[in-house]
Amino acid sequence: MKKVIKSIILIAGLAIAAPQLHAQVSVGLSVRIGPPAIPVYEQPICPADGYLWTPGYWAYGDGGYYWVPGAWVAPPSIGVLWTPAWWGFDGGVYAFHSGYWGPHVGFYGGINYGFGYGGSGYYGGRWSGGHFAYNTAVSHVNRTIIHNTYVNNSFARNNSRASFNGRGGVTARPSRNDQMAARDRHIPATSNQMAHQRTASTNRSQFASANHGRPAVAAERANTKAVNRQASAQHATARATNHSANAQRSVARATNHSANAQHSVARATNHQARATNNRQASAQHSVARSNTNTQHANVSRQPSVQHNAPQRISMQQHQANRAPAPRPMGQPQQHSQPQHQASRPSPGGEHRK
Q: Which H or E element spans position 235?
A: helix 224-322
pLDDT tens readout for residues 84-141: 999 999 999 999 999 999 999 999 999 999 999 999 999 999 999 999 999 999 999 9
Q: Rounded mean pLDDT of 325-336?
A: 52
If you count them, how many residues does the chain have? 353
Helix, coil or strand: residue 53: strand
**Side by side, which strands form the sheet with 86-90?**
27-31, 93-97, 86-90, 164-165
pLDDT score for 23: 36
Q: Which of 222, 189, 148, 175 is nearest to 57 (CA)?
A: 189
Alpha helices in 135-223 (DSSP H): 176-182, 191-201, 208-211
pLDDT score for 239: 63
- B/e letters for 190-223, b = 16+ CB within 10 Å, e = fewer, are beebeebbeebbeeeebbbeebeeebebbbbebe
* CB contact at 8 A, 72 and 222: yes
Q: How far apart are CA 69 and CA 227, in angstroms?
A: 17
pLDDT tens readout for residues 1-22: 444 444 443 343 433 333 343 3
pLDDT tens readout for residues 270-317: 878 888 788 887 788 777 777 776 666 665 655 544 444 445 555 555
Q: How far apart are CA 149 and CA 14, in angstroms?
A: 42
Using CA atoms, how far residue 27 sits from 67, 78, 95, 134, in Å, is: 19, 27, 6, 31
The whole-model pTM stands at 0.61
Using CA atoms, how far residue 162 sits from 34, 84, 108, 170, 219, in Å, is: 10, 14, 12, 6, 18
pLDDT score for 128: 95
- Split at pLDDT 50, 70, 90, the class of 161 is very high
pLDDT score for 211: 97
Q: How far apart are CA 125 and CA 139, in angstroms?
A: 8
Using CA atoms, how far residue 109 sits from 117, 179, 199, 347, in Å, is: 11, 12, 25, 175
Domains of the chain, residue spans: 2-221, 223-294
Q: Rounded mean pLDDT of 66-78?
A: 97
pLDDT tens readout for residues 234-266: 556 656 666 677 778 878 787 777 788 787 788
Helix, coil or strand: residue 333: coil
